[in-house]
Amino acid sequence: MPSRIREPWLSFLREVDRSLGEPVEVHCLGGFALSVLADLPRPTGDVDFIEVRPGSACRELLEIAGHGTALAAKHSLHFQRVSIAEYPAEYETRLLDITPGSLRKLKMMALEVHDVVLAKLSRNSPRDRFDVEFLAGKGLIRPDVLEQRFDTELRPYLLNETRESLTLQLWLAEFFGAEDQ
């Protein structure tokens, strides 16, 4: 899989990097992560993230490059914390470093594509379905991996397990031709 951050993102991230006072690690998911990992053609204007390390740096990151900041306005891009998200419990063991070599303080880590897909289950928007169809069409996700991670790392923690389970089964049937079991 390619993992190169293109413009206009690269210039934006370089400015964020120069503005940070300390090293920061950001755990990304969503359209930005998929555009880097899988060349997702759908444009996105935000870097969705679920974690910043150290935690105290989240405020600084959002003050520098969150929605409504001068830097965000300049680039028409911004960082956005996803405060309500359901994602696999062990995602950290599979994080992928997508940090461009030119960055010194900002470390960009992306959830692995299966984990990004599972994080999209609860929302199940047309955009999410497009992303899953795109990944399946490119052969970048496998139904057995989705099911295994769902059962062991997501299902036990879901607020609405029935809905998310049904969504996964529908996606598997639609994008992989898998029969409901």
Strand partners, 81: 49
In this prediction, what percent of the chain has a pLDDT beyond 70? 96
The mean pLDDT of 44-59, rounded to a whole number, is 96
Average pLDDT of the segment spanning 147-151: 98
Whether the predicted pLDDT of 76 surpasses 80: yes
In which band, very low, low, confident or very high, does the pLDDT at 3 lie, cut at 50, 70 and 90? low
Q: Model's pTM, two decimal places? A: 0.93
Residues 6 or more apart whose CB falls under 8 angstroms from that of 14 comprise 100, 102, 103
What is the Cα Rg of the chain in Å? 17
Given a cut of 60, whether residue 153 has pLDDT beyond it is yes
Q: Supply the mean pLDDT for the chain.
A: 94
What's the mean pLDDT in 153-168?
A: 94
- Mean per-residue pLDDT, 55-64: 97
Q: Residue 31, exposed/middle/buried by CB under 10 A (0-12, 13-18, 19+)?
A: buried
Phi, psi of 159, deg, nearest 5:
-80, -35
**Residues 87-114: pLDDT tens digits?**
999 999 999 999 999 999 999 999 999 9
Distance of CA 147 to the CA centre of its chain: 19
| pLDDT tens-digit series, residues 8-42 | 999 999 999 999 999 999 999 999 999 999 999 88
